[in-house]
Structure 1
Amino acid sequence: MAVFHAVERNVWKRVLLLVSLLLVAGLVYVATESSLTLRPATAPARLEEVSGDGTGDAPADDIAAGGGLSVTVEPVSASFFDEYRLERERSRSLQVEQLRYLIESGHVDTEREAVAELIALLDRTDLELQTESLLRARGLTEALVVIGDHGVIVVVNETIGQSEAHAIGSIVAPVTGKSLEHITISDGVRLP
């Protein structure tokens, strides 16, 4: 006796769209793989609340202007953004492929878990893209957002001050559902 599971049409449309995008990104990656190497950025800065009395990590004037946020600049190469996006797409393409295999395996429990993981992956990818678009709409020329289970990492290619970091945090937090304590911002570009 066959067991059928009903999955909403819009979920499958999203799955098929993501798979198509990931396959295209994978093909682009394979075509350019020989010239790419992924270089991780140096340790990013933590976006943290500091005391408003001027005894924290930032000068009192900056605290008043920036909403009480402390940011440390970390250099990031311009090609890092393209390289990381390609690597992220390649990795997610592999994840989607593995999840599709599990979904097609026919084992009911495995299929349910795989569908749930695939939906979570799609949602996380969608939130990352939305957040990156909002940051670019704010005027940042390049922004990379990575959402993890415990926090968000934002990498921008411009050197930013505390007020800009606060603005970035105020955009990222509501979209991702993460608090400021769980948002890490790495900023600045110094080309060799």
Structure 2
Amino acid sequence: MKRLLAWIAVSLPPTLLILLALKPLEVNSLRFIGLLFFVALSILLWVQMATPATESKKRFRQLTVASLITVASIVAFNWPLKAAYSLSRPAFNHVAEQVESGKTLSTPRRVGWFRIQQIEAPGPAENQIDEHGLRLWTNLHPNGKTGFVQSRPDDLSFNLWSYFRLDDTWQFISED
């Protein structure tokens, strides 16, 4: 039982962060949760270093360090979201081509690895001209939407809470 709890303590933080990064949450929340995991793993490693080393404790320390590095890399680079986006990029481009050709797409729908709740397209919208790029929203919270926007990184005219650049044409944003 003790060994199981030790493995859970080491493997749970990076596993949860990977899942949360794929949700996708807004980026600041992911960084905050990652920072908490990083502190918890650092404390665990510090406690391990204070006790005499046996062979199993050395292996556990190595796993804790690997877990700590994984958590830090997720917080710094959000690589699970980037990896899922990279695998989904052809689907994103296909949806963009369909919308540009004037096709109306139903939502919610899956686009690659992501569930899109709403699609907003540039151009005439109801009674006003919409000058934003194509938006694929994954979360429709009343205080601000979260999702993918097809636009240049220097042309994000949104009320941003956080923003994460995926490549030169797609950004992941969370509105305030």
Instruction: Give the structure with the higher percent helix.
Output: 1
Higher relative contact order (CA 8 A, sep 6+): 1
Report if TM-score (shorter chain) is over 0.5: no
So what's the TM-score if we normalise by structure 1? Answer: 0.30
Instruction: Give the structure with the higher percent strand.
Output: 2
So what's the TM-score if we normalise by structure 2? Answer: 0.32
